[in-house]
Amino acid sequence: MSRKGIKYLLLLGLVALLTILPLIPGALNTKWMTTITFATYFAIFVLGWDILCGYTGQISFGHSFFVGASGYTSALLSLYFKWPIWATIPCGVLASLALGLLLSVPALRLRGPYFSLITLIMPLIAIKLVLIFSSITGGELGKSNIPAIPTPVPPCPSDAGPDVCRALFIQYQQYQYYYALGLMALVAIALLIISTSRIGKILEAIRDNEEAVEAAGINTAKFKILAFGISSFVVGLGGAFYVHYLETVLPQEVLSPTRSTEIIIASVLGGMGTIIGPLFGAYAVRLGQEGLREAANHIPALQFLNDWALFIFLALLIVLIFVARQGVLPALVGAPYLRKLKKFRKLGQQSVASKEVS
Amino acid sequence: MRILDVQHLQKSFGGLMAVKDLSFHVDQGEILGLIGPNGAGKTTVFNLIMGVLKPDSGTIRFKEKEITSWPTYQIVNAGVARVFQIARYFKHKNVYENIEISTIPNEVFAFKDAAHLHEKVMTCCECTGLCTCHEHTGHCNCCTQLPGMLPQGALRRLEVARAIGTDPDLLLLDEPFAGLSPQEVDEISHLITQLRQEGQTIVLIDHNMRGLMRLVDRVVVLCFGEKLMEGSPQEVSENPRVQEAYLAGGRV
Ligand SMILES: Nc1ncnc2c1ncn2[C@@H]1O[C@H](COP(=O)(O)OP(=O)(O)OP(=O)(O)O)[C@@H](O)[C@H]1O
Ligand SMILES: [Mg+2]
């Protein structure tokens, strides 16, 4: 089967699994349902990162900037102007898109560390702005009571017992779970189509050798701007829905450098520049962390994990990245292919070397 | 007809005059040799034509249009392609995918059909002798190889195939024989002759006359960025000034 086929199959499998999971009685408690919903939003951010950074090789260390830009725009518009969310979410996405296109201007001129430095600073500036305008943004404490994504589930009647309310709450969570899943599936399919199309091929080629792409008659600037546009659009879309799911907007939730770092970790772990790898990486990072915490809470012998969870997790990551540099998923799926690739490369080098000697 | 017309081209790097008041032209259908000792400015001339470097002064006209200072991709789309002195392929893409990039149009929404592009890639593979393709299945025997494992001769063919993939009217070849075995040199010479028979206009750079004699119609000799002389291969090789330049340049 072609690599393209494998990607679609893996996506189908993942979406099918996540669709069925809540329907199996007892498979998911509400806690894990919300954990997966969080992971699904996180996966959208990671997907948006990968189409830009994984494909063109320009690494952004500050993608939470787009989550925050879109999230704050949509949240504040709906909070202060009482606009419905179907109007504020597009505004948030447009804000993110505009900033993405703006950022592509220095990105076209700056290479390597300079570009990365800019992306690192962007969310820090945004956090500063949030604090400066704290009368509007709520500063460090953020703003709550952001309108939620509406569901058909009625609010709990005041005269109902706790059991009724609980059932309604679970139902509500389930709706939110499927909203996130639907959005992620749409984004993932769109990005798989784009990344396996000519656009994806050109972006990969730019990562490999930009000058050679220009020499092939392709305007690399245009395609890099396009990648910025797609990326900021996708991350903005996820970010806007995310704050309405949370019903709060907090700088440490949507803008923090930790979030940006996690995005990179998930992509690298899954295998950047493959779309499907980072998607699995996103779930692995989020659910893995939560799993460790859960284990610490339930098994007394593992209690030390409470303090050590993050440490162990990060240490494991370093090992994994070291062992499987092209990402864990490609290493698993494409092991034979990659081994061949390595052999080819070695052979190639030998033949070049022998030429130089002769 | 003059397909390329270079007038009073000038380019300096700091204090170094790499190209000095250079004028020459290329006629439709000919092979022009551009020779000169190491550091004479040959590659710089190609970089100026391709828009990789901006000239200090002078004009470059291609098919009647002034292309001076156009961006590279536009010049390529206008119909000039070049093969680099040092191969610049995509090392993570296989032979097929390498050539494919050259055939993809420079449009975000390109509705050119995929079968057409596939055919073009196959034609490039076949006409450069890079691969032999099966007539009915369209399957080529080399397409899944990575360039890194190709021998030098085949790598040069791949570079030519990538250039041909852009449908050039003018092909610039920068030292296509460098680093090849005598047999590979023969093969590439044969390929160039073949391209020429198909009507391809070519500018060919080399260090010296020897390999070029049989191939080129006309020669321009560069020395320290200046045009030393221009003429038929025979005139050039018999000219004492050219021999002197090569001796001065430390190379015969
Ligand atoms: N980008 C650059 N910056 C500074 N100097 C350059 C640059 N490119 C070329 N030069 C200088 O310009 C001169 C001409 O270089 P060029 O590469 O055009 O020579 P060449 O004729 O192609 O030589 P060779 O036969 O070695 O390929 C050399 O002295 C070189 O050092
Ligand atoms: Mg040169």
Q: Based on the structure, what is the number of domains in chain A?
A: 1
pLDDT digits 0-9 by tens, B49-91: 999 999 999 999 999 999 998 999 999 999 999 999 888 899 9
pLDDT digits 0-9 by tens, A169-210: 999 999 999 999 999 999 999 999 999 999 999 999 999 999
Number of Cβ atoms within 10 Å of the Cβ of B121: 23
Q: Which of B50, B62, B72 to mutate to test the interface with A (most CBs of A within 10 A)?
A: B72
Radius of gyration of chain B (CA): 18
A57 touches A220 (CB < 8 A): no
Distance of CA A221 to the CA centre of its chain: 24
Contacts of A299 (CB under 8 A, 6+ apart): none
Q: How far is Cα A345 from Cα A355, in angstroms, rounded to an integer?
A: 15
Q: Which of A213, A222, A226, A274 to mutate to test the interface with B (most CBs of B within 10 A)?
A: A213
Q: Write the CA distances from A75 to A72, A97, A149, A230, integer angstroms.
A: 5, 17, 11, 22
- Picking from A198, A345, A356, the nearest residue to B148 by CB comes out as A345
Q: Does any ligand 1 atom lie closer than 6 A to the CB of residue B42? A: yes
* CB-neighbour burial class of residue B23 (10 A; exposed 0-12, middle 13-18, buried 19+): middle
pLDDT digits 0-9 by tens, A261-297: 899 989 988 999 999 999 999 999 999 888 888 888 8
CA of B43 to the centre of ligand 2 (A): 4
One-letter amino acid at A41 equals Y
Q: Which domain holds residue A259?
A: 3-357
Helix (H, G, I), strand (E, B) or coil at B106: coil
Q: How far is Cα B193 from Cα B198, in angstroms, rounded to an integer?
A: 9
DSSP class per residue in A196-221? HSHHHHHHHHHHH-HHHHHTTT--HH
The candidate with the shortest Cα–Cα distance to A149, out of A85, A235, A93, is: A85
Residue A334: pLDDT band (50, 70, 90) is low
pLDDT confidence of residue A182: 98
- For residue A177, the 8-state DSSP code is H
pLDDT digits 0-9 by tens, A114-139: 888 899 999 999 999 999 999 999 99
Query: Does the pLDDT of residue A356 top 50, yes or no?
Result: no
- For residue B15, the 8-state DSSP code is T
pLDDT confidence of residue A335: 53
pLDDT confidence of residue A354: 43
- For residue A52, the 8-state DSSP code is I
Contacts of A322 (CB under 8 A, 6+ apart): none
B201 touches B233 (CB < 8 A): no
Token match 């189509």: residue?
A193
What's chain B's average pLDDT?
A: 88
Q: Write the CA distances from A174 to A31, A34, A166, integer angstroms.
A: 11, 9, 12
B85 touches chain A (CB under 8 A): no
Q: Higher pLDDT residue, B184 or A339?
A: B184
Contacts of A231 (CB under 8 A, 6+ apart): A48, A49, A51, A52, A53, A63, A66, A100
Asked if the Cβ–Cβ distance from A219 to B73 is below 8 Å, we say yes
Q: How far is Cα A117 from Cα A120, in angstroms, rounded to an integer?
A: 5
Which residues are paired to B13 by β-bridges?
B16
pLDDT digits 0-9 by tens, B197-207: 999 999 999 88
Region A73-80: what's the mean pLDDT?
96
Query: Does the pLDDT of residue A254 top 80, yes or no?
Result: yes
Asked if the Cβ–Cβ distance from A345 to B149 is below 8 Å, we say yes
Which residue spans within B67-169 are E strands per DSSP?
80-83
Q: Does any ligand 1 atom lie closer than 6 A to the CB of residue B18? A: yes
pLDDT confidence of residue A353: 43
Supply A341's token pair: 């690739």
pLDDT confidence of residue A72: 97
Ligand nearest to the CA of B44: 1
- Picking from A213, A215, A348, the nearest residue to B148 by CB comes out as A348
CA angle, A262 then A266 then A271, to 5°: 150
Token match 């993932």: residue?
A188
- Picking from B50, B89, B108, the nearest residue to A212 by CB comes out as B89
Asked if the Cβ–Cβ distance from B89 to A220 is below 8 Å, we say no
pLDDT digits 0-9 by tens, B108-165: 887 667 788 888 888 888 888 887 777 777 676 777 888 988 888 899 999 999 999 9
Q: Which of A55, A218, A223, A344 to mutate to test the interface with B (most CBs of B within 10 A)?
A: A218
Residue of A nearest to B161 (CA): A216
The candidate with the shortest Cα–Cα distance to B19, out of B202, B175, B222, is: B222
pLDDT digits 0-9 by tens, B22-32: 999 999 999 99
Ligand nearest to the CA of B174: 2
B190 touches B221 (CB < 8 A): no
Query: Does the pLDDT of residue B180 top 60, yes or no?
Result: yes
* CB-neighbour burial class of residue A247 (10 A; exposed 0-12, middle 13-18, buried 19+): middle
Q: Higher pLDDT residue, A306 or B127?
A: B127
Query: Does the pLDDT of residue A112 top 80, yes or no?
Result: no
pTM of the entire predicted model:
0.89
Query: Does the pLDDT of residue A344 top 80, yes or no?
Result: no
What's chain A's average pLDDT?
A: 88
One-letter amino acid at B58 equals G
pLDDT confidence of residue A343: 56
Number of Cβ atoms within 10 Å of the Cβ of A80: 10
Q: Write the CA distances from B17 to A273, B6, B20, B40, B44, integer angstroms.
A: 43, 17, 6, 10, 11
- Within 145-174 of B, beta carbons closer than 8 Å to A belong to 145-152, 162, 165-166
pLDDT digits 0-9 by tens, B30-50: 999 999 888 899 999 999 999
pLDDT confidence of residue B248: 61
Note the ipTM here. 0.89
Q: Higher pLDDT residue, A309 or A334?
A: A309
3-state helix, strand, coil in chain B (%, to 5): 35, 25, 40
Residue B250: pLDDT band (50, 70, 90) is very low
DSSP class per residue in A25-68? TTT--HHHHHHHHHHHHHHHHHHHHIIIIIHH----S-THHHHH
Region A21-27: what's the mean pLDDT?
90
Q: Is the dihedral of CA A174, A180, A186, A191 positive or negative?
A: negative
Name the residue with the closest Cα to ligand 1, atom 17. B43
Name the residue with the closest Cα to ligand 1, atom 5. B13
What stretch of H or E contains A84? Answer: none
Q: What percent of chain A has pLDDT over 70?
A: 92
Backbone angles phi, psi at B42, to 5 degrees: -65, -50
Sheet containing B226-231: give its strands across: B80-83, B170-174, B201-206, B31-35, B218-223, B226-231
B35 touches B207 (CB < 8 A): yes
Region A311-323: what's the mean pLDDT?
78
> Highest mean pLDDT range out of A14-18, A331-335, B138-142?
A14-18
pLDDT confidence of residue A358: 36
Token match 């590279």: residue?
B72
B114 touches A201 (CB < 8 A): no
Q: How far is B170 from chain A (nearest CA, A)?
A: 13
Helix (H, G, I), strand (E, B) or coil at B250: coil
- Within 214-233 of A, beta carbons closer than 8 Å to B belong to 214-220, 222-223, 226
One-letter amino acid at B46 equals F
